[in-house]
């Protein structure tokens, strides 16, 4: 059975959700989401340091969704539909903590590299993550999507915690990748 984004989304978005978005990620949508997050925290009494961390992590995750989501066509009754759904969810969880959950479709052939990268980062201690970040930053090599692989490293560096992720089978070519970040 293949993954159903609508069911997954409804299951994840609960009462503790402060903000959620499902759809196509654009430059304008990123700005709108960040404005909404600012508005949410303007009305909450939260430490400035925590709000800044949430905002910075939101920027990084939204940029990752924008740059690394794969769009594809599926044949539905009545024609071809382009699928380019991304998901961004901000939650307030137990103990005054926060969580950002993102999701996007990626090509199956990219999964091994992504999994290895996250597993490697989850294994490193704080100093090793910082050293890897500096090494890649100073290497000045960039991918075909404009980054040097710093995005996911920056998330681990900023949170100081392991990243929780899942891959959900969609079809022969695509997988839905979900990432949970504790703040």
The parent domain of residue 55 ranges over 5-108+162-182
Q: Is the pLDDT of residue 124 over 60?
A: yes
pLDDT tens figures, 62-108: 999 998 887 665 555 555 555 568 999 999 998 889 999 999 998 99
pLDDT of residue 1: 57
pLDDT tens figures, 146-159: 555 688 898 999 99
pLDDT of residue 135: 86
Q: How many domains does the chain have?
A: 1
> Residue 88, class by beta-carbon neighbours within 10 Å (0-12 exposed, 13-18 middle, 19+ buried)?
buried
- Mean predicted confidence (pLDDT) in 127-134: 91
Query: Is residue 77 situated within a structural domain?
Result: yes
How high is the mean pLDDT of the chain?
87
Adjacent-strand bridge partners of 89: 20, 101
> Residue 177, class by beta-carbon neighbours within 10 Å (0-12 exposed, 13-18 middle, 19+ buried)?
buried
**Helix 126-139 / helix 150-159 crossing angle, nearest 10 deg:** 150
Query: Is residue 32 situated within a structural domain?
Result: yes
Query: Is residue 28 situated within a structural domain?
Result: yes
* CATH number, position 40: 3.30.565
Query: Is residue 144 situated within a structural domain?
Result: no
Query: Is residue 19 situated within a structural domain?
Result: yes
Query: Is residue 48 situated within a structural domain?
Result: yes
Query: Is residue 123 situated within a structural domain?
Result: no
pLDDT of residue 5: 86
pLDDT tens figures, 3-54: 888 899 999 998 899 999 998 899 999 999 999 999 999 988 899 999 999 9
Query: Is residue 140 situated within a structural domain?
Result: no
Q: What is the DSSP string of 143-181?
A: -TTS--SHHHHHHHHHH-SPPEEEEEE-SSSEEEEEEEE
Question: How far, in Å, CA of 87 to CA of 83, rounded?
Answer: 13
Q: What are the helix and strand counts (H, E) for the chain?
A: 6, 7
- Mean predicted confidence (pLDDT) in 134-141: 76
């Amino acid at each position: 059975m293949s993954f159903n984004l609508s069911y997954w989304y409804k299951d994840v978005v609960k009462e503790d959700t402060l903000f959620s978005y499902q759809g196509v990620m654009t430059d304008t949508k990123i700005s709108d989401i960040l404005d909404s997050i600012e508005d949410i925290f303007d009305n909450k009494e939260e430490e400035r340091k925590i709000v800044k961390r949430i905002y910075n992590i939101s920027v990084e995750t939204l940029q990752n969704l924008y740059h690394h989501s794969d769009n594809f066509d599926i044949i539905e009754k009545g024609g071809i539909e382009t699928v380019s759904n991304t998901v961004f969810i901000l939650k307030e969880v137990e103990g005054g903590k926060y969580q950002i959950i993102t999701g996007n479709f990626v090509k199956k052939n990219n999964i091994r590299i992504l999994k290895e990268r996250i597993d490697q980062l989850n294994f490193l201690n704080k100093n090793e993550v910082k050293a890897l970040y500096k090494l890649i930053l100073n290497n000045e090599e960039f991918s075909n999507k404009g980054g040097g692989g710093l995005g996911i490293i920056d998330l681990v560096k900023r949170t100081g915690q392991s990243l929780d992720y899942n891959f959900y089978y969609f079809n022969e070519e695509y997988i839905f990748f979900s990432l949970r970040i504790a703040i």
